[in-house]
Amino acid sequence: MFLNRLLGTALTVFGVLLLTFLLVHLVPGDPVEVMLGESATTADRAQLRADLGLDRSLPAQFADYLGRLAHGDFGRSIHTHAPIADLLAARLPATARLALLALTLALAVGVPLGVLAALHQHRWPDRVATMAALTVSAMPHFWLGPLLVLVFALWLPWLPVSGMELSGAIWLPAVTLACGLAAILTRMTRASLLEVLNEDFVRTARAKGLPERVVILRHALKAALLPVVTVVGLQLGSLLAGAVITETVFGWDGVGRLLVESIEKRDYPVTQACVLAIALTYVLVNRATDVLYSHIDPRVRFGA
């Protein structure tokens, strides 16, 4: 039922909030010592401990943490003293643009390749598409990104190496993120479409004399999209997580790069907020995927 899904989402969000709250407390040793270093004065340590609320009990700290989040207050950066909400608001659009372009590229390449492979099963288009998908899926982002820079920015100076200011700077990081997802979508679309092509309703559509293009696009592909939508919903969260590495490699000023910078500077309030933003986005996107199920296949109902 929908209420069960809603309750599950609420419990998941609560778990995310609890884990991000405990992030500071999971730091080995005294987190204040880790943030300020050994050269900090006693007054500085006491001030930071009070600013972070570490001088209070854990339940009181967690209640205060939830209260601040309810009002959109993520705290302030230890190094810049800027509101963390403003930092996230400045970086989130860049990460969203990158993830959406990567998702668009992955869908534009992965789904047609999967359809092509399924329609030519055991022939050379199928073998080429499958081999390409397996090869690309084995390439991690931290290796594929520099490889694309080497080819398209150094050997073939078509695109800028890094940054956001130059025209076309988004393409290399977007392609880096899209490749892995495109490989997954190719294999998933192929497997799902091959299964659907053997269903009775597809044979009935062909028996009615419908053109093969109509049978594939209007009947078989629509039914085969359900597991593909599931994968897209799950992998969109992975795109945000993968952006942590990709944004750092390409100097893209998004949430992923902000997270890495905050870890390097030991700015744990910013780290908390970045992890929370990525995790909540992942949860909400997956729940939104559930809603799409019933639009693609009316037989699917919540709780079924």
Residue 65's nearest CA partner among 245, 268, 214 is 268
What pLDDT digit, counting tens, does each position of 185-239 carry? 999 999 888 888 888 888 887 788 778 788 887 778 877 887 888 778 777 776 7
Give the separation between CA 35 and CA 267, rounded to whole angstroms.
7
Sequence-separated (6 or more) residues with CB below 8 Å from residue 56: 64
Residue 294 has pLDDT above 70, yes or no: no
DSSP state of 299: T
Residue 109 has pLDDT above 90, yes or no: yes
Q: Which residues of 26-36 are buried (b: 16+ CB within 10 A; e: fewer)?
A: ebeeebbeebb
Residue 103's nearest CA partner among 181, 186, 172 is 181
Residue 300 has pLDDT above 80, yes or no: no
Residue spans of beta strands (DSSP E) within the chain: none
What pLDDT digit, counting tens, does each position of 20-37 carry? 888 777 767 667 777 777
> Rg of the chain's alpha carbons, rounded to an integer?
24
What pLDDT digit, counting tens, does each position of 177-187 carry? 898 889 999 99
Mean pLDDT, residues 122-140: 88
Q: Rounding to the nearest 10 degrees, give the CA dihedral for residues 241, 242, 247, 248.
A: 90
Q: Residue 213 has which token pair?
A: 């293009």
Q: Measured between alpha carbons, how far apart are the two ends of the chain, in Å?
A: 8
The per-residue pLDDT of the chain, averaged, comes to: 82
Mean pLDDT, residues 277-281: 84
Give the separation between CA 92 and CA 253, rounded to whole angstroms.
9
Name which residue leads in pLDDT, 266 or 136. 136
| SS3 label, residue 37 | coil
Report whether 225 contacts 296 (CB < 8 A).
yes
- pTM comes to 0.81
Q: Which residues of 85-102 are buried (b: 16+ CB within 10 A; e: fewer)?
A: eebbeebeebbeebbebb
Give the separation between CA 47 and CA 71, rounded to whole angstroms.
24
Sequence-separated (6 or more) residues with CB below 8 Å from residue 225: 192, 296
The DSSP-derived string for 118-131 is HHTTTSHHHHHHHH
Q: Across the chain, how many H-helices and E-strands are there? A: 13, 0
The structural domains of the chain, ordered by start, are 2-70 (no CATH), 88-296 (1.10.3720.10)
Residue 117 has pLDDT above 60, yes or no: yes
| DSSP-H helix ranges across 197-252 | 200-207, 212-214, 221-250
Q: Residue 125 has which token pair?
A: 């288009």
Name which residue leads in pLDDT, 254 or 53. 254
Residue 304 has pLDDT above 60, yes or no: no
Give the separation between CA 136 and CA 180, rounded to whole angstroms.
6
Beta bridge partners of residue 76, listed in sequence order: 83
What pLDDT digit, counting tens, does each position of 48-75 carry? 778 777 778 888 888 888 888 888 888 8
- Give the per-residue pLDDT at 293: 66
Name which residue leads in pLDDT, 260 or 223. 260
Q: Residue 242 has which token pair?
A: 């993968």
Name which residue leads in pLDDT, 132 or 159. 132
Q: Residue 152 has which token pair?
A: 């398209």
